[in-house]
């Protein structure tokens, strides 16, 4: 159950309106790695934890905090849109700044949301749950979380570089610091789970059931062997289960597949029109 | 530039058709963490690498391999659909297996693709580039890759458990092993980049510009303090830049925001109808 | 800012697992009118209120409650999925109930979410912000809210009829009652705003600027005049601004449009190939 | 069955081209509340009416009219795009108006549609049936329709304010007037159905089956009690079935949920790694 | 402008309800090549024709007819859903047909649409304007139309094979015949335009501006030269502008690209971490 | 299986950066008819061919080439974004070119992709598999391919007209030439299949099972009979199976449908509220 208080976790007040930056700032509110994504990702992961304890609590702590970040960004965007101009282009364009705003601001901020923030990214794509991840396997999911906080901090930093407004920079410096913590916390949790399980997810699948002969092999499918010089091509593997190998000229292990004709009621191209050689015979001219 | 050979990287032949499993197998072909996702994710990351060398080569090697995995899965699904029944329910339902197939198979496998694989997941959602990630920052992106291979292997393992077909299991054991390698390789690359940069992405943003006082603080926003018992709540932080702290009762740092009225031409609810108190004055009854 | 407590607002425990019903129940969690939709709709509306006072508070109260409903449904769905069977169809299908489950359950509940709830509807479409509405005009938005609670209660009632599980019915009877309240509350708020403004949204647009001659006219575009017998075709209009009229044979008021050829650099079909008569001349054979 | 005549319902001719406004105008053609949405929403509702009579006829009348509005907007947009410039930015930018157009117009109007209207909104999101609603319950659906016409008129009014072109304003004044009528007609139909049934949808669910003790209660989940001052917090409820109550400190009614471990074949994080306390026992340290 | 009459273009009455087939039939109502797609595709093409005459009229004729087909399918689906069972699985599963229906029908037909048709395909994906095409170039668009009618007829034929209901088959035999006509008419129109212009779209781009040396060349990028035996690999090209050639071993024509480092404010991986060789120099070890 | 070489098929180097054109160029990389679409469309068609031989080989040849085109465009876009400005609008807007860039470039190129290409179109919609087609019927699919190459070449030509950069034009002239070939090759393949089968897809459905009386009839549903003057309205049909006919006043062939009431458990509007006349009786006042 959730309680809300109306005070903000941190300040969200620009020095002055900037409708163009409002559009850009939507990215970290409603984009792939915006605050809606992390809030719902952590909450759904938390609700799915089978058991309880510190991991579930950590997810719910952080999920609830991200709701506060949505709120801060929604507030900041509404203020950046204060009194946004929507008027006649021809008149406006005499002032180059105004012209750039009229050409560049998100028209939906005026037409659809009435100068409010939208659950959308910086080009207007509406937020979708395609962005979020909750698998029931915490090591997998904490890696998703570490990625989300890495991408999110990167985007916040880029936005910090794109404005000179001290109010906006102040709020971003808060969000960037929180992303620092969140990267740290998921790193700590990952380290602990990797120690308890193994670095390969899921750790519970018996290794003898996989084709172990290719579990630590790098296949060179892009000509040039720079990749052979990396740590991943030699030495003991990260999971302690083998040794990295490099295969310069990977070969196919299965013959050219030939699919059987479809039944007549499917009305694919009839077999008489397509050549149907005997399955799995390699034509002699291929090798 | 790409060259194709028609032989498969590995076998993709079931013991016998199973249209219901064909539907499920779509998940790791066209789902969020299916082979289309990793193929295009690695290729787009590779094409965006500014510079060259081993990281770019590794991305292109792996991206090209994932194309071969799409091909294997597409072949397997077509074979699982061989001669799929599409007939009359009432007659079919007398055979419970046939009834379950008719009720449960993906109808688009018969109506739309003509017994071919589709670029869609196990419930029929078409693949979307919302699933993929390429930021230009390799540490961030390799974390996305590690997550993708973790989720992907987890899903392949779950599918392995859902079938008794030895041909399908054989192919999955190959894909699971490759996911083992791919987790290992991204782990190796991540370790190297973390050592060169820092564990916090992006490493190039000056730390003094963020609100360092909250860079290593866990706020307890979900009642109960199990999360205080984790590594992330005490001791030195993972980035070596501070000490984890735990705040049991987090407080808001900004006043309740009050937004200014919109201009008349926006036609929001008029100010006379909504109460517009002076900005940022906390009403006395709130505390 | 938000705080979470781990206790649930109301019970969410089924008598026994039912993976098929888990799939159906997703509709009111992650569907068009599920709890994610109302939670985010109310919160975004609240964050956009320009001014403060009772309307904003009501939105935040209700938005925060809907977060608790997402939580209840996520919990219920995870429990309905307890120990869900994923095994071999041929064996399973000997038990017709098991066969129906294997054919009918959402395969992603096993493959993707690991027996957890998903941010998706009952056919697996992921939640999208296309579903939500926040315009800055409260009368418009409260109508959206009234609709959402009407559709939502209707769906909850239909689901209530589709199960015999007393635990599920108990939880639904709570959600249905809350939807009763929410319909009541939006009705009360709408009534108040309609009295302060006018029933037509937005009330602030000067009426003389619209084509008043068609502001209260019903055009009969579907042959048969049953619609002429309704209240909307005669008597004073609901907005007190006119009298309803019925036009049995509506006529076009503008000539047939003829668009000018595109510039050559657009490479549309060349004008020499398409007939380009003089603009706005009605060919004589048309009337 | 449908017949088309080529004359327009009303004029759709701008004074002069304006590619930037063409982009904005797309909102009420192909946006969430654009004419495609209302046309298909009313038609699908009409086709689903089980029975006939005035409601079905009204839906078909209005649905057919909205098709004519799509046509008017498509025509207007094509004309606003007449001869749209697509040339070199550097040269163009010497003329600020041209620069703003080149930076701000929808590039797909030139590249994809060849200066024609698109089934998309003002930021280029393609229209999706996620926007529309047809439930089989007319009172619910007429509320959806009233909302659609409220949002639609609001957007048309905002666009009216954003142009000085007399031709565009003339067309919008027609569409605004029609939205006035459509709000009026759905209000009339809603009033009639509410009188026949009850204000709570669906009216056919027996009230004793819902948790009546919370059917008229406002829970204060957002600190501050401004919402207690509203009509929805005291006095008889709108449905005549109870009295509104206000609960200042809402309490959870169910214990903290603890989910059972997943079966081994799901490969969630193993129970040994997550704490699995006995279900529904509140740990003593929490309160 | 559009007029509607309530009579159907053709019969749409099944012998008896079949909720499973109702789900499948959604494909040709709301799928990629369903009737919504062709209706809106033809209408948008028609509205964008710059000029008038027979092509525009043909588009409007056919677009209006497809609206009648949506109506027929919506009616048929509602009737196939008559009295659809939604009850308890355990009881139902004793009747295998009922079990298959409960497991296999679209749950949204009961929960969301109230036994009405939906603007969605056979797996529940909502219709999207991503499916439709209108470019302003009629030869291009008529090819899109010919494809749509080919795919549409193929799907209708497959559905015809999947039912034994004489009422459904009767309606499908009508739609299949209409698709026959529509393929014929677009073929006729294409033939005419190809004769007036050229077979290559757009015909108005000066041929000397393209790299004519590769305008009629087949590159063999998939090992094996079966494709060399086709008409497309030898003889005069279809556009009368050249002779087909076959290149067995295609070579790259540009060096390996090396991208410049990003500016510091982008915070990509720093150049010091990625190798930045001089642009366009082929490392000697590659060949 | 696929191999990659790092050299490009053709040059992809602009004279100088142009972030605005980078945004536009995304259309033919990640738009509806961009290179991702054709690459995956041809590959999926190829993998689904049941049988082998020249058609499958042609599909794989062309699919692999399109992968190289994605690569060229990704490279070109990254270079057009070299050093893209992201700074302060107010300062920038003093330079009109810079102002237009800041207002008009895709903000995600800076915030999300770090100056890399994205799998998205020119307005930022992410690529979706909704765009692609693979039915198992080659004649149908080759028509889809011919359309894709027609739309793709049209878009490339329009982009060619929108730039003066010689490097960009050079690359586009290559892609345009390849589209010329691809239109030619699908035309050749279509001609061959039409000769072997029939022009109507699918050719395998017995003609006597369709309503042959309407297989060659043009219904005039849009007033005005310009369409009667086309080849499709008279003379032998293109499939050699009949003679085109024109019906000036098409009549409905089925009565007005009346749907039965829904079961009570669906909670649609109750029958007592909607008029339920006897099915299929035309009310006398309608004609």
The arithmetic mean of pLDDT across residues A47-57, rounded, is: 93
Tokens of C74: 């996520």
Residues of B in contact with C52 (CB under 8 A): 256, 258, 274-277
pLDDT digits (tens, 9 = 90+) for D211-264: 999 999 999 999 999 999 999 999 999 999 999 999 999 999 999 999 999 999
Give dist(CA B158, CA D264) in Å, integer.
10
- Give ∠ CA F130-F132-F133 in degrees, rounded to 5: 115
Peptide bond into D202 cis (omega under 30): yes
On the question of pLDDT at B85 being above 70, the answer is: yes
Give dist(CA D248, CA D246) in Å, integer.
6
Which candidate, E204, E211, E152, places its Cα nearest to that of E25? E152
pLDDT digits (tens, 9 = 90+) for A114-135: 999 999 999 999 999 999 999 9
Q: Which of A9, A144, A173 sits opposite B147 (nearest CB)?
A: A144
Residue D121 annotated as part of some ligand binding site: no
Give dist(CA F20, CA E16) in Å, integer.
58
Which candidate, C10, C33, C37, places its Cα nearest to that of D217? C10
Residues of C in contact with D147 (CB under 8 A): 133, 140, 143-144, 146-147
Q: Which of F9, F113, F120 sits opposite B48 (nearest CB)?
A: F113
The arithmetic mean of pLDDT across residues C114-136, rounded, is: 98
Tokens of B210: 């963020």
Give dist(CA D110, CA F163) in Å, integer.
13
Check CB contact under 8 Å for A129 and C134.
no
Residue E149 annotated as part of some ligand binding site: yes
What burial letters (b/e) apply to C35-44, b meaning 16+ CB within 10 Å? bbbbbbbbbb
On the question of pLDDT at B165 being above 60, the answer is: yes
Which candidate, A185, A239, A194, A193, places its Cα nearest to that of A216? A239
Name the helix (H) or strand (E) containing C219: strand C217-219
Q: Who has greater pLDDT, D29 or F83? A: D29
Tokens of A116: 């409010």
Share of chain C above pLDDT 70, in %: 93
Check CB contact under 8 Å for E267 and B49.
no
The arithmetic mean of pLDDT across residues F99-120, rounded, is: 91
Residue identified by tokens 């009225």 is B261
Name the helix (H) or strand (E) containing A67: helix A54-80
On the question of pLDDT at D285 being above 50, the answer is: no
pLDDT at site E279:
41
User: CA A68 → CA A30, A129, B252, C72, F30, distances in Å?
Assistant: 14, 19, 10, 21, 35
Q: How confident is the model at residue A281 (pLDDT cuts 50, 70, 90)?
A: very low
Rg over CA atoms, chain E? 27
Give dist(CA B276, CA B258) in Å, integer.
8
Whether residue D132 contacts residue D176, with contact meaning beta carbons closer than 8 Å, is answered with no
Polymer length of chain B = 287
Residues of C in contact with F179 (CB under 8 A): none
Whether residue C28 contacts residue C73, with contact meaning beta carbons closer than 8 Å, is answered with yes
pLDDT at site E20:
93
pLDDT at site D195:
96
Rg over CA atoms, chain D? 27
On the question of pLDDT at B284 being above 70, the answer is: no
Half-sphere exposure of E63 (CA within 13 A, CB side): 26
On the question of pLDDT at C19 being above 60, the answer is: yes
Give dist(CA E77, CA E118) in Å, integer.
9
CB atoms within 10 A of CB F273: 19
pLDDT at site A282:
41
Whether residue B13 contacts residue B79, with contact meaning beta carbons closer than 8 Å, is answered with yes
Whether residue A132 contacts residue A126, with contact meaning beta carbons closer than 8 Å, is answered with no
| Mutate: best of B163, B223, B227, B267, partner D, most D CBs <10 A | B267
Check CB contact under 8 Å for D276 and A54.
no
Q: State the smallest CA–CA distance between residue F269 and chain D in angstroms.
A: 5
| Mutate: best of C164, C176, C224, partner F, most F CBs <10 A | C224
pLDDT at site F272:
86
Whether residue A274 contacts residue F51, with contact meaning beta carbons closer than 8 Å, is answered with yes
Q: What values do phi and psi take at A15, rounded to 5?
A: -65, -40
Residues of A in contact with E265 (CB under 8 A): 158, 161-162
Peptide bond into B202 cis (omega under 30): yes
Q: How confident is the model at residue A90 (pLDDT cuts 50, 70, 90)?
A: low
Q: Who has greater pLDDT, B136 or F277? A: B136
Residue E240 annotated as part of some ligand binding site: no
Whether residue A33 contacts residue A96, with contact meaning beta carbons closer than 8 Å, is answered with no
On the question of pLDDT at B225 being above 80, the answer is: yes
Domains and CATH numbers, chain C: 19-196 (1.20.1260.10), 207-287 (3.30.1530.10)
The arithmetic mean of pLDDT across residues D65-90, rounded, is: 89
- Beta strands A2-4; C2-4: pairing state: antiparallel
Which candidate, F79, F66, F164, F73, places its Cα nearest to that of F120? F73
pLDDT at site A93:
62
Whether residue B158 contacts residue D266, with contact meaning beta carbons closer than 8 Å, is answered with yes
On the question of pLDDT at C244 being above 70, the answer is: yes
Q: Which residues of F are annotated as a binding site for Ca(2+)?
A: 57, 61, 220, 222, 224
- Beta strands F2-4; E2-4: pairing state: unpaired
User: CA C28 → CA C157, F103, F185, distances in Å?
Assistant: 11, 40, 50
pLDDT at site A51:
86
Half-sphere exposure of F89 (CA within 13 A, CB side): 26
Give dist(CA C77, CA C71) in Å, integer.
10
On the question of pLDDT at A98 being above 90, the answer is: no
Give dist(CA B12, CA B76) in Å, integer.
5
Q: How confident is the model at residue A279 (pLDDT cuts 50, 70, 90)?
A: very low
The pLDDT tens digits along chain E (287 residues) read: 999 999 999 999 999 999 999 999 999 999 999 999 999 999 999 999 998 899 999 999 999 999 999 999 999 999 999 988 776 656 666 676 777 777 789 999 999 999 999 999 999 999 999 999 999 999 999 999 999 999 999 999 999 999 999 999 999 999 999 999 999 999 999 999 999 999 999 999 999 999 999 999 999 999 999 999 999 999 999 999 999 999 999 999 999 999 999 999 999 999 888 875 544 444 444 33
Check CB contact under 8 Å for D128 and E132.
no
Share of chain A above pLDDT 90, in %: 85
ipTM for the assembly: 0.94
Whether residue A201 contacts residue B239, with contact meaning beta carbons closer than 8 Å, is answered with no
pLDDT at site E285:
41
Residue identified by tokens 């962005």 is A131
pLDDT digits (tens, 9 = 90+) for A162-221: 999 999 999 999 999 999 999 999 999 999 999 999 999 999 999 999 999 999 999 999
| Mutate: best of E70, E78, E81, E114, partner D, most D CBs <10 A | E114
What burial letters (b/e) apply to B127-149, b meaning 16+ CB within 10 Å? bbbbbbbbbbbbbbbbbbbbbbb
Give dist(CA D215, CA D224) in Å, integer.
22
Residue identified by tokens 């509405």 is C133
Tokens of D165: 């072109």
Please report, in angstroms and rounded to a whole number, the separation of the first and last CA atoms in chain F.
67
Chains that touch D (3 or more CB pairs under 8 A): A, B, C, E, F
pLDDT at site E284:
43
On the question of pLDDT at F94 being above 80, the answer is: no
Residue F52: beta bridge partners? A275
Give the residue on A whose Cα is nearest the Cα of B260: A82
SS (H, E, C) chain B: CEEECCCECCCCCCCCCCHHHHHHHCHHHHCCCCHHHHHHHHHHHHHHCCCECHHHHHHHHHHHHHHHHHHHHHHHHHHHCCCCCCCCHHHHCCCHHHHHHHHHCCHHHHHCCCCCCCCECCCCCECEHHHCCCCCCHHHHHHHHHHHHHHHHHHHHHHHHCCCCHHHHHHHHHHHHHHHHHHHHHHHHHHHHHHHCCCCCCCCCCHHHCCHHHCCEEECCECCCHHHHCHHHCCECCCCCCECEEECCCCCCECCCCCCCCCHHHCCCCCCCCECCCCCCCCHHHC
Whether residue B110 contacts residue B85, with contact meaning beta carbons closer than 8 Å, is answered with no
Q: What is the DSSP letter of D6?
A: S
Considering only A160-164, C96-100, F83-87, which range has the smallest mean pLDDT? C96-100
Check CB contact under 8 Å for E222 and B112.
no
Q: How confident is the model at residue D103 (pLDDT cuts 50, 70, 90)?
A: confident
pLDDT at site D83:
86
pLDDT digits (tens, 9 = 90+) for C173-226: 999 999 999 999 999 999 999 999 999 999 999 999 999 999 999 999 999 999
Q: State the smallest CA–CA distance between residue E7 and chain A in angstroms.
A: 33
pLDDT at site C84:
84
Q: How confident is the model at residue A229 (pLDDT cuts 50, 70, 90)?
A: very high
pLDDT at site D281:
42
pLDDT at site A104:
86
Q: How confident is the model at residue F282 (pLDDT cuts 50, 70, 90)?
A: very low
Q: How confident is the model at residue F187 (pLDDT cuts 50, 70, 90)?
A: very high
Chains that touch C (3 or more CB pairs under 8 A): A, B, D, E, F
Which candidate, F19, B120, C127, E194, places its Cα nearest to that of A36? C127
Q: How confident is the model at residue D282 (pLDDT cuts 50, 70, 90)?
A: very low
């Amino acid at each position: 159950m959730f309680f809300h208080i109306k005070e903000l976790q941190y300040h969200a007040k620009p020095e002055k309106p900037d409708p163009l930056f409002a559009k850009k700032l939507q990215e970290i509110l409603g984009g792939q790695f915006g605050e809606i994504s992390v809030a719902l990702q952590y909450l759904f992961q938390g609700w799915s934890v089978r058991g309880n304890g510190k991991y579930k609590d950590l997810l719910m702590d952080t999920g609830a905090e991200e709701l506060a970040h949505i709120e801060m960004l929604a507030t900041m965007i509404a203020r950046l849109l204060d009194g946004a101009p929507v008027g006649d282009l021809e008149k406006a364009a005499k002032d180059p700044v105004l012209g750039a705003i009229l050409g560049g601001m998100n028209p939906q901020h005026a037409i659809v949301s009435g100068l409010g923030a939208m659950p959308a990214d910086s080009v207007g794509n509406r937020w979708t749950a395609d962005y979020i991840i909750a698998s029931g396997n915490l090591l997998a999911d904490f890696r998703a979380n570490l990625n989300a906080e890495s991408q999110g901090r990167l985007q916040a930093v880029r936005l910090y570089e794109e404005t000179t407004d001290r109010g906006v920079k102040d709020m971003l410096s808060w969000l960037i610091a929180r992303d620092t913590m969140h990267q740290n916390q998921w790193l700590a949790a990952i380290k602990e789970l990797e120690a308890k399980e193994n670095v390969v997810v899921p750790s519970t699948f018996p290794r003898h059931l996989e084709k172990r002969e290719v579990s630590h092999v790098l296949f060179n499918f892009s000509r040039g062997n720079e990749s052979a010089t990396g740590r991943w091509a030699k030495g003991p593997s990260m999971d302690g289960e083998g040794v990295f190998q490099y295969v310069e000229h990977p070969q196919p292990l299965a013959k050219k597949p030939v699919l059987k004709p479809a039944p007549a009621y499917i009305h694919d191209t009839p077999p008489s029109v397509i050549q149907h050689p005997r399955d799995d015979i390699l034509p002699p001219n291929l090798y």
